[in-house]
Amino acid sequence: MRVSILFIFLLLTGCASSDVSRNAASEVDNVYSSASGVKNGADPIGAYQNANQAIKGGIIGGAAGAVAGSMSSGIGTMPGAIGGAVFGAAVGAYIDQHTSWQDRLENAGGQVIILGDQVKIIIPSSLLFHSMTSTLNASAYQTLDLVAQYLRSMTKVSIKIAAFTNATGPASINKVLSQEQADSVARTLWHSGVNARLMTAIGYGGAHLVRRNSLEWNEGENYRVEITTEKL
């Protein structure tokens, strides 16, 4: 067992000199940035869900490398963590380069439904906004950038951005909140290069419930943003 672990981490050490590993090492810096965001109040679960595979690979590889390194006197915990993080980030970066925006969006917690010429992207509000607000959280920008990658490739489509809430509480407040959320998503997509003339943003409040009301912000499917494209 120890011989196998030692072999793996000698391989990792060799990989560390390659261009792939050096590129992956920059992704490890992103892991640190994400951790700083968590320290500053970001949701750690949301940040991880929205991270790309390179960042996830760095996190998982670093943890696994630390454990494996601690089991081998020839490696040690810290070198094992560094080697595992670089290797994991390299594998994750490769996955990112060979997966579609749809795969990565669904991996982050979104949903993509394709019906003929219509494409609907559904994202839980808890992945985008701070609880019960229209303020985007730190990890939302990565998710919306994936959406923007798709929308920038579409030139002759209409883009409808619709936000929804539960039906609990005053309907007027729910309507205002959902409209502000839809506007916030539209502005972010515009800043990401999506043609603003193709977009409309509408807040529906508690209309069009998907399931029975839940009092929890991060439960159920009612708090959501739907981005629908249709060919003109």
Model pLDDT for residues 7-16, shown as the tens digit of each residue: 444 444 444 4
What domains, with CATH codes, occur in the chain?
Answer: 2-97 (no CATH), 101-231 (3.30.1330.60)
Work out whether strand 111-115 and strand 199-203 pair parallel, antiparallel, or are unpaired.
unpaired
Torsion of CA 73, 79, 85, 91, to 10 degrees: -70
The pLDDT confidence band at residue 201, using thresholds 50, 70 and 90, is very high
What is the distance between the alpha carbons of residues 115 and 117, in angstroms, rounded to a whole number? 6
> What's the pLDDT band for 97 if we cut at 50, 70, 90?
low
Nearest to 164 by CA among 110, 106, 215, 210: 210
pTM, 2 dp = 0.61
Per-residue pLDDT tens digits for 48-69: 455 555 555 455 555 554 555 4
Q: What percent of the chain has pLDDT over 90?
A: 41
Residue 101: which of 149, 170, 158, 139 has the closest Cα? 149
Q: Where are the beta strands (DSSP E) in 98-156?
A: 111-115, 118-124
